[in-house]
Amino acid sequence: MSDAYAGRTLRRLRVRWLIVAALAAVATALSFGGLRLLLTDDLARRWLLLTVPVLAYELALLWRFLPRNRDDERLLPSLGPGTLLTVARGVLIAFLAGFLLLPRPTESLVWLPAVLYGTAALADYIDGTIARLTDHTTTLGARLDTEFDALGILIAPLLAVVYGQLPLWYLSASAARYLFVLGIALRRRRGLPVLSLPPRRSRRLLAGLQMAFLSVVLSPVVSPPATTVAAVLVAVPFVVGFVRDWLYVSGRLGT
């Protein structure tokens, strides 16, 4: 692949990024207008205070990783439907973040946090399949998928804790992936070896269980102590999985 082709393709991808950013801004403005009708102006503005920074962070990730929009051989000029669905999932997670600064919704909006996160979780199972069916699997899509998974598993439990649905200690599951990545970065900075993780099907299973559980916990149909008991069953295997992965990459546990 020539440098000229790569340069032209990257410029086309940046134009597509601008279109995606504009559409995300329009969706945010429309959602803000809807919340102003259903809530007060003050609450709608508070919703924006977290939604906008989270959305900006996600768009910054997309911009940063645009050069990874490639298959095995070349940089691809379009994002592809699977990656676009992943970006849409990120927008839903950003909208969910805005509810961290609001009282728990009642009446017509009581299901909205659960619907936002549940839809994002469902899209997580579809985006990869769509990318494969359209022959547009890229390292960009895979990286965004991982980043947005972690962001969702950070924001949704925070909201559940704010709502009194989960105990504070559950946030250890939210922090697990970020601590894992930080630990790897610190090892590399110190010149220590970082081994590759062996494949393990349970990683995807545990992440999916997390998402399904959090979607239910954000709904009005469950409450403590049932959610507290279930939290132990869901969070402990998830955290233990990250501990085991850390032992693998740090060479303390053989494959």
Q: Give the residue extent of every domain in the chain.
A: 3-249
Q: What is the per-residue pLDDT for 170? A: 96
Q: What is the per-residue pLDDT for 213? A: 96
Per the confidence metrics, is the pTM higher than 0.85? Answer: yes
Q: What is the per-residue pLDDT for 74? A: 84
Q: What is the per-residue pLDDT for 255? A: 54
**Distance from the Cα of residue 99 to its chain's centroid:** 16
199 DSSP assignment: P
CA distance 39 to 37: 6
CA distance 236 to 233: 6
CA distance 148 to 154: 10
Q: How far is CA 23 from CA 93, 118, 123, 166, in A?
A: 16, 22, 18, 34
- Write down the residue that tokens 């559940």 correspond to: 160
pLDDT in tens, the chain (255 residues): 567 777 889 999 999 999 999 999 999 999 999 999 999 999 999 999 999 999 999 999 999 999 999 887 789 899 999 999 999 999 999 999 999 999 999 888 999 999 999 999 999 989 988 988 988 899 999 999 999 999 999 999 999 999 999 999 999 999 999 999 999 999 999 999 999 888 888 888 899 999 999 999 999 999 999 999 999 999 999 999 999 999 999 988 865
Q: What is the per-residue pLDDT for 172? A: 94
Do 166 and 229 form a contact (C-beta atoms < 8 A)?
no
Q: Which residues contact 134 (CB under 8 A, 6 or more apart)?
A: 80, 81, 82
Tokens encoding 250: 């740090």
Q: What is the per-residue pLDDT for 200? A: 82
Tokens encoding 33: 């207008």
Question: What Rg value do the Cα atoms of the chain yield, rounded?
Answer: 19
Q: What is the per-residue pLDDT for 1? A: 53
Q: What is the per-residue pLDDT for 135? A: 86
The b-or-e profile of 52-70 (16+ CB within 10 A means b, else e) is bebbeebbebbeebbeebb
Within 116-221, strands assigned E span none
Q: What phi and psi, each to the nearest 5 degrees, are found at residue 101?
A: -100, 10
- Which candidate, 12, 121, 136, places its Cα nearest to that of 81? 136
Do 158 and 100 form a contact (C-beta atoms < 8 A)?
yes
